[in-house]
Structure 1
Amino acid sequence: MLNSVFKKLMAAYVAIMIISFLILGLLFSQLTGSYFFQRHESLLLEEGNKLNDMVIAHLNGRISAERLNLELQAVERFLNTRIWVLDRRGMIYGVSSNEKQWIGRQITEKEMLQVLQGSVIVKKGVFDAEWKVPMLTVGMPIIINGRVENALIMHSPLYEITDAIQGVHRIIWIAMGISFLVSTLIIYFVSKRMASPLRAMGVAAERLAAGDFTQRITIDTEDEIGQVTRTFNGMAEKLEAIEENRRSFIAAVAHELRSPLTLIKGFVEGILDGTVEEKDQRKYLQVISKEAGRLNKLTANLLDLQKMESDQYPIRIQVFDINELIRRTLLKYDEEIERRNLEISLGLEGEKLMVTADRDAMEQVLTNLIDNAMKFVENRGAIELTSKAHMQRAWITVRDNGMGIPREEQPSIWERFYKVDKSRNRNKEGTGLGLYIVKKIIDRHGEQIRVESEVGKGTAFTFTLPLAEVRE
């Protein structure tokens, strides 16, 4: 039944309102009843004190019996109250109404006799079998010279008080009913407004699960629901970016695989069907071997990429000489350096510069940076590798005098498969993963790498490593 947030909110709010209104209604009813009874009791006591003075004046001969009767009748009409005057024996000798049958009757009720003993009494209930109507009875002693000489008994029917109380109760409950209806309407719209973005979020989540990453929720509030909605939209944007990256990644991988495979397939078919002459076969086989090596390198990079992005790429920190690693890494390029007549210069600080890092990972960083320099430097160009210690860090730089990178493209060079050479010139071979992997490795070490480049003058990549003396 309560299968939605809206219904649960409505049920909870309505239950709270019903309980609150019932408690408030009962409390107001109780307070109202007590107020009316106390107010009427106070009026009876106040008028009783006035009549007490009148009876004393009559007993002292200052006013006549007729005047006393007129006062009793006036109070009776004002308060709808029967008034008796009793002597010391409990005999009624004065009444305010025409019910003369009570004159001469002796009162024997215990509470009434307490009045003749000097007590003021207040009693609710049926006074006598002849009166079926519940009464509010007030008894007051009339004291002369320190002695109780007479008593005053006042009977006021409760139906007038209860009628007034019921009228007030009716108004209270009607007001509460109207308030309940208005509150229910307000809560209905508030609950619907609160539940609306949650429903929209559910629909959007289903569409996201189906692959539609363009879903967004429009809501303009600063409360918790607004925060959740903005978080959801942020998540959707990230998922859309991830999906876009995935598609770009697949397209880039397909492109990088298709190009060498197409060359290999074409040259192999040419050799097999005799299109390529025997004297040219060695040249084409060398191209095939080169493209196969490029495929192997791309596969290795993809495996490294997968490990890095799944946090499975191991970082084994050790102390080693970064200067020696730079020299050993350069040895792998002796043949190409000689063939292209490149100028290589080393500016290494000291004979040794000990650092703490993953040696194999740093070798891959140096290899990728040198590959990048080799790729974009012209024949007879210059490549410089330097190392220096500064601020408890080793600063390693790979610099070339190649074509350079436009300033607007420099922030993008760390992206997967990004190539500055948009035309993908075959002379500028590469997978587009080298710098991305470099950045990942340096980030995993908690260090930094930066690029400085100017079109037509060259590029310099500088990264940092902690000196061995810093980490013991």
Structure 2
Amino acid sequence: MLKSRKKKRVSLTRYWTTRYLLTLCIGLTIIAFISAIWLRHTTLVYRLDMIEFMAEETTHRISDNVDAGIPNGENPGLFRERDRFMNMDIKPVIYIVDTEGKIISSNRPKGPREQSIQADILSSSDEVQKLTYNGTSKVFYAVKKKIEIDDEQVGWVVIVESKESLTHLNQEYGQLAIMIGSLALLGLGAIYFLSRRLATPIKEVAAAAKQVQQGDYNIKLPENLKEEEVYELVRSFKEMAMRLEQLESMRTELLAGVTHELKTPVTSISGLLQAIQDGVVSGDDAREFVKMAINETSKLKTMVGDLLAFNSFAVNAIPVKFEELEINQMVKDVVNRWRLMQDTDDIQLTLTTLKELVTVNIDAIRFQQIFTNLFTNAEQAMKGQGNINVVLHDEKESVVITVSDYGQGIPKEEQDLVFERFYRGENKKYEVRGLGLGLPLSKMMAQSILGDLHLVESSEKGTTFKLIIPKSNK
């Protein structure tokens, strides 16, 4: 059985610095290689141009000095002047030959076999030639120019130098190495600085995450960050920590509230039944106590049912049955059922339907439960007296149903929390008993039928919710 090896972790600064440095070195190596090739080529072209210019100048010098004749090996002054003229760190061989190729004069001593120039150098029409010399593999370049006196050719000036000497560079390669090395050091410094600048806030966020994990939400993170993405990361984490702290506080408070709400009917039932058992009440009073106990039992059953339903929807344990239904008729049925359940005429409910028939794919039971919760909340907000308006709007791909009441409204600071499970507003928790699962459960049911539930607006003049139902594909 193979043991899984834990991967070795490295710091963000080291990780990116090493990879950026590797990329930089590869890039600089390629640049250095290309630059060296370019330097060799430009140096070769430049020196060949200078040799060609020197050959041309030498022919003119000989032609203009007719009385002196063609210089020979015993008169090397001309060659010394040419060497000073070159000043290119090279010493090319200069030959002055007659029309037959016989060497008349040279700036180098002639060897025992060096009496004439290769015939192919003079026979070629090219003034600059690339060739191998004396049967070796070494590459040479030869530059030739005609010597003319009184419009008559009397010989050639031939300058020969090896390619190795023509492309040899010392100072330029050194300067290139210094430049590449400086760029590498500069790049390393810049990469290290930028990597540290990127890694520092991330390290601080990681440390803050461990702090939050331990239950300490009093985190401190830098705010003066110029990088937009890093700033958004830090800001989002701080907001998340604040939200977690708020939810943790709310969870504790809501747990106490739920416990109290469940304990109250149990205590009432226990007290009522104990009074009957002990004979404290009898006759009509006992029957009234039994009735009150049954009423408390119904409330307890409703709250437990809400808990079970919410948990079932939270884990997707309740199946949803979709049907093709006409939305106008569906809403009318829901409104009529709710009206029949009311034992008072103090709540007036008005309905505005669509002008055209629209079919939706919906679960009728979940749809009815959503509106029952919305109507019940509206009734409680208006304290059992007022108007509820239901209006259907035809959108492009969905039907939007708004439910508006004219109650006391939801405080602004509580509006973002109305869909939080077990949350109950300050005003409602002391007036109406419950677990705070109506709106969260309604939103989950709306999403289960591929729609959604939103709070549109709420003020002292009333509250409006909207239910979005997608249209049928048909």
The 2-side partners of 1:286 and 1:346 are apart by 30
Would you say 1:29 and 2:44 are equivalent positions? no
Summarize the Cα distance change of 1:12–1:285 in structure 2 as closer, same or farther, 3 Å threshold: same
The 2-side partners of 1:349 and 1:87 are apart by 119
Aligned to 2:261, which of 251, 256, 263? Answer: 256
| Superposition map of 1:365-384 within 5 A | 368=373, 383=385
| Superposition map of 1:65-464 within 5 A | 70-79=77-86, 83-88=94-99, 90-96=101-107, 102=110, 107-108=115-116, 110=118, 114-115=121-122, 120=127, 138-143=143-148, 148-154=153-159, 165-207=169-211, 218=222, 220-229=225-234, 232=237, 236=241, 239=244, 242-269=247-274, 274=278, 276-278=280-282, 281-309=286-314, 312=318, 314=320, 316=322, 318=325, 320=329, 326=335, 328-332=337-341, 334=343, 343-344=345-346, 359-361=364-366, 363-364=368-369, 368=373, 383=385, 405=408, 408=411, 412=415, 414-415=418-419, 416-419=422-425, 421=427, 424=430, 428-434=432-438, 437=441
- Conservation of the 8 A alpha-carbon contact between 2:103 and 2:117: no
- Conservation of the 8 A alpha-carbon contact between 1:29 and 1:169: yes
Alpha-carbon deviation of 1:42?
2.3
Q: Secondary structure at the match of 1:405?
A: coil
Summarize the Cα distance change of 1:275–1:184 in structure 2 as closer, same or farther, 3 Å threshold: farther
Summarize the Cα distance change of 1:299–1:181 in structure 2 as closer, same or farther, 3 Å threshold: same
The 1-side partners of 2:204 and 2:437 are apart by 40
Summarize the Cα distance change of 1:43–1:291 in structure 2 as closer, same or farther, 3 Å threshold: same
Q: Secondary structure at the match of 1:289?
A: helix
The 1-side partners of 2:458 and 2:130 are apart by 103
Q: Secondary structure at the match of 1:304?
A: helix
Residue of structure 2 in register with 1:52 after alignment: 59
Summarize the Cα distance change of 1:438–1:405 in structure 2 as closer, same or farther, 3 Å threshold: farther
Structure 1: which 5+ residue stretches go unaligned? 335-341
Deviations 1:164-220 (A, max 9, x none): x11111111012112211111111111222333444444445555555566675463
Output the amino acid matched with 2:67: G
The 1-side partners of 2:202 and 2:400 are apart by 53
- Conservation of the 8 A alpha-carbon contact between 2:43 and 2:166: yes
The 1-side partners of 2:83 and 2:404 are apart by 116
Deviations 1:36-83 (A, max 9, x none): 33333322222222222333455x537696997543332234335654
The 2-side partners of 1:347 and 1:299 are apart by 29
Deviations 1:313-332 (A, max 9, x none): 73655455756655554555
Residue of structure 2 in register with 1:20 after alignment: 27
Deviations 1:268-302 (A, max 9, x none): 45555x38354654444433332222111111222
- Conservation of the 8 A alpha-carbon contact between 1:349 and 1:389: yes
Q: Secondary structure at the match of 1:418?
A: coil
- Conservation of the 8 A alpha-carbon contact between 1:57 and 1:63: no
Q: Please, what is the CA RMSD of the aligned residues?
A: 5.2
Q: Secondary structure at the match of 1:151?
A: strand
Counting matched residue pairs gives 440
Q: Which has the larger radius of gyration?
A: 1
Deviations 1:330-380 (A, max 9, x none): 55555xxxxxxx555767789xx99977554465456556656776888xx
Residue of structure 2 in register with 1:338 after alignment: none
Q: Secondary structure at the match of 2:424?
A: coil
Q: Identity of aligned pairs, percent? A: 18
Summarize the Cα distance change of 1:221–1:314 in structure 2 as closer, same or farther, 3 Å threshold: farther
Output the amino acid matched with 1:86: V
The 1-side partners of 2:30 and 2:270 are apart by 88
Stretch deviating more after TM superposition (296-305 or 62-71):
62-71
The 1-side partners of 2:443 and 2:259 are apart by 23
The 2-side partners of 1:461 and 1:93 are apart by 113
Summarize the Cα distance change of 1:446–1:297 in structure 2 as closer, same or farther, 3 Å threshold: same
Summarize the Cα distance change of 1:291–1:57 in structure 2 as closer, same or farther, 3 Å threshold: same
Deviations 1:1-57 (A, max 9, x none): 774443332222212222222222222223223333333332222222222233345
The 2-side partners of 1:384 and 1:238 are apart by 36
The 2-side partners of 1:423 and 1:388 are apart by 26
Q: Secondary structure at the match of 1:276?
A: coil
- Conservation of the 8 A alpha-carbon contact between 2:411 and 2:459: no
Output the amino acid matched with 2:62: V
Q: Secondary structure at the match of 1:142?
A: strand
The 2-side partners of 1:135 and 1:438 are apart by 92
Summarize the Cα distance change of 1:18–1:3 in structure 2 as closer, same or farther, 3 Å threshold: same
The 2-side partners of 1:438 and 1:359 are apart by 13
Stretch deviating more after TM superposition (284-293 or 231-240):
231-240
The 2-side partners of 1:41 and 1:156 are apart by 9
Alpha-carbon deviation of 1:439?
6.3
The 1-side partners of 2:412 and 2:424 are apart by 10
Output the amino acid matched with 1:189: F
